[in-house]
Each structure stands twice: as structure tokens, then as C-alpha cells.
Amino acid sequence: MATRTRPATIPITEIEHAAFCKTEDELPAKSLAEELAVNVRWQNISPEYLHLAPEELDERIHDARRQLGSAVTVLGHHYQREEVIKYADFQGDSFLLSQEAANLPHAEYILFCGVHFMAETACILCAPHQKVILPNITAGCSMADMAPMEDVEDGWQDLQDILGDHGGIVPVTYMNSIAGIKALCGRNDGAVCTSSNATAVLEWGFQQGERILFLPDQHLGRNTALKLGIPLDKMVVWNPFKRLGGNTPEQLRDAKMVLWQGHCSVHTRFTVKQIQAARERFPDVNVLVHPECTMETVQAADMNGSTEFIRKTINEAPAGSKWAVGTEISLVNRLAINNPDKTVFCLDPVICPCSTMYRIHPAYVLWVLEGLLAGQVINQITVPEQIQRDAQVALDRMLALR
């Protein structure tokens, strides 16, 4: 049996929530020193950047970008805070942004304002001469961290031993996973999926084999499998801290879906109670949530879909309509600003950003840009060649389904 047993750890996003979750209306722009003062474990940076005021940061970032010209492209994920997203040449979800980077071969440097797995994906999809930079190296994703390579390799070995390696189980990983997991899927006849195409990828997976191991988000896996008509009693959760994920061999043989026990600390904050409260406040409200929310929340909502689906639905909704949204607060706030003729608000009354996305502070953006001006590439993200090749196979399988 390959599975190691060890104690569970609390995701960093949940530890840092306390520092940034607020009941006020907004999170004010602060210097990096003020943000570090709340005891977060972010990347150390040259002291000269710590106390710069927002206006000074803004001026110097614009100046550095002017000097660097088209050699640098800045990509901004929809969940980035306003003070950072304003520098983005392109905004999008993780996959769209990586594709965008690959379409810009003149940009030698891709400054990815997002989290680590996104920068890795950009690195896989970009040309070899392009260098991907993550402004704050500690900007990870707690969901991706819940599926570390050695745990997944152990679990995969156990599943192979019990279910056989010829179509017994097909690995499918959500984009929100480290490159090594994408590569494992590529090597083992599996694929990657996004929240937009998870249904299509699972349908494909069930044509390849009897069961699917879905990583690392149990909620997206469960919600998508339910859409395909797979009953809950054909789904088991794989807890990496227990032998055989906490299952018996019989339970694994009987399952159609093996759901890795991972979750998003941001999307699992949305609850059925919050939906009820929104409906009491506005009886005609539309409740729209992301499928990383729990099954109960997704089922109580009116609609669910990917970040791009949420944006499109609200942007195209009729004037006067009301939207209670269950996704990251920076995106919800931006949707509210861009749709002043509609009522758009976050389901969660507590303002709680993704604390790892929040680690990209403008001071880090300036630090890496001025590093480039000085001939230094700071925080370059690289992926070993073999992992890139295998991960590309899993990504290509997904793309072939479109």
C-alpha cells in the first residue's frame, strides 16, 4: 500500500483570511509594509519598496512599463484586486490568460498577476524564449496545494493496484493543480479540465474508462458528476491523509467517481443560509455561484458556472436585474462597478478576498519590473521539460474536445 498517513494541515488561505476578511464595504489600498504588518508570510522584498504610497507605486510602474515597452505583457486574473488589475494588458481566467500569452510571441516577459499554478500553465503553453514571472513567489493556491505530488503519486499507485491500469480509472485534473499533476494525467491517458468544460471532459473520461479520479477539487468533481446523472452513492472521497483515501477496496471498485479531498477556501464560504438571506432581501434576485461551491450551495442557487460564465451572464443581463453572486470578491466588485444599471452583490456579507491572489501587491509588480530594467529576471517560473511535455498532452486532450 503506497498511501502515507500524516496529519492534515490548515490551508494558508484560511489562516490568512483572518487578516483580510472585513465587514466594511471595501479593502483600502495600503503600502506593502502596512499589509505585511498583519503578520502574513509573503515574499521578502527590498525595503525600498515597502513604504511606497499607492500614487508613487503607480507612477513608477507606468514609467517602468513605458521603458520596457512590448517586451513585457502583464496578465491579470479576474480575482486580482483593483490596484493590480489596472496594469493588466489582458484580463481573464487562468486558461484564457495562458493562451493569450502564447499568442504574443513578441513579449519576452510575461508578468502573471495570478497564482503559481497559472504561471506554470503559461510556462507550458508559451514559446521557449518567453519567461513567465510571478511577482510574489508565495502567491500559491491552497486548493492546488491540497494535491501535492507525492500524495497523488501514492494514491494513484494504490488505485492502480486495486482497479487495474487498463481503463479501470482515468485521471482528470482541474486546471487549478500543479504542473506535475497535469503531467501525471498526461502520462496515464487522462486530461485537464476547466470549470467551463468539466462536463465535456468527464463525458470523455467515461468513454475511456470505468471510473474517474478527479483532482483536486471535490466540489467541482461532485457537482459536475451530478449533472451527468451519477448518483452520490457512486462517488467516494479520497482523503490523502488516510490509508486508501479512507475507503475499502470494495468501495473503490463500486465507485464511478473518486473525488480528491481538496477544496477552494474562497468558494466553500458560500452557504445555503446566505442564499436564503439574499432571497429574503430581494425576492426577485438571481443567485449565481461558481461550481467550486459545495453541492448544497450549487443546488440552492439559480445558476452555476465558471468565472467566464458568471461575467457573461451578468454583463448581458437586462437592466434592473438583481444578482447575488458566489465567487471571489474582487470579481464581484468589478461586475458591480461595470454594471451600474443592475444590482450586483456578493452572497457573503463578509468581504473576503482569495488571500493568495491578494499577495500580488503593486509593490511586487514594481519590484519585478524594475528588476527587468536592471537586467534581472526576478521570480521566473520554470517547469522541467519532461513535465511540460506530459502536461501538454493532458492539455491537448482537453483542447481536442472543444
| Interface pattern 283-322 for ligand SF4 (x via CB under 6 A) | ----------------------------------------
Residue 357 sits in the site that holds ligand SF4 (CB under 6 A):
yes
Q: Does 96 bind ligand SF4 (CB under 6 A)?
A: no
In the complex with ligand SF4, the residue whose CB is nearer, 2 or 295, is 295
Environment class of 65 (CB within 10 Å of its CB; exposed 0-12, middle 13-18, buried 19+): middle
Phi, psi of 128 (to 5 degrees): -60, -30
369 near 111, Cβ under 8 Å? yes
Question: What is the closest distance, in whole angstroms, from the C-beta atom of residue 397 to ligand SF4 in the complex?
Answer: 22
380-381 vs 131-133, strand pairing mode: antiparallel
Query: Is residue 192 a contact point for ligand SF4 (CB under 6 A)?
Result: no
Closest to 259 measured CA to CA, from 172, 142, 167: 172
Q: Which stretch binds ligand SF4 (CB under 6 A): 95-103, 208-216, 258-266, 392-400?
A: 258-266
Does 351 sit near ligand SF4 (CB under 6 A)?
no
Q: Does 329 participate in binding ligand SF4 (rule CB under 6 A)?
A: no
CA distance 258 to 235: 6
Is the bond preceding 47 in cis, omega lying within 30 degrees of 0?
no
CB 172 within 8 A of CB 205: yes
Which one of the spans 17-25, 234-242, 260-268, 296-304 is the region binding ligand SF4 (CB under 6 A)? Answer: 260-268
The smaller minimum CB distance to ligand SF4, of residues 178 and 324, is found at 178
Site for ligand SF4 in 126-145 (CB under 6 A): 141-143
Closer to ligand SF4 by CB, 115 or 225: give it: 115
What DSSP letter does each residue of 208-219 carry, written as one string? H-S-EEEES-HH
Q: Amino acid identity, residue 133? A: I
Cell of 279: 432571497
In sequence order, which residues have a C-beta less than 8 Å from that of residue 233 and are 6 or more positions away?
none
Which cell goes with 288?
449565481
Give the nearest distance from C-beta 239 to ligand SF4 in angstroms. Answer: 19
Count of residues touching ligand SF4 (by CB under 6 A): 14
- Give the H or E element holding residue 46: none
User: For ligand SF4, which residue of 121, 130, 136, 176 counts as binding (CB under 6 A)?
Assistant: 176
Grid coordinates representing 115 are: 497564482
- By three-state DSSP, how is residue 380 classified? strand
| Candidate list 75, 354, 369, 372; residue touching ligand SF4; CB under 6 A | 354
Q: Decide whether 72 or 147 has the Cβ nearer to ligand SF4.
A: 147
Task: Point out which span in 26-34, 296-304, 332-340, 349-357 binds ligand SF4 (CB under 6 A).
Answer: 349-357
Residues within the interface to ligand SF4 (CB under 6 A): 13, 79, 115, 141-143, 176, 264-266, 328, 354, 356-357
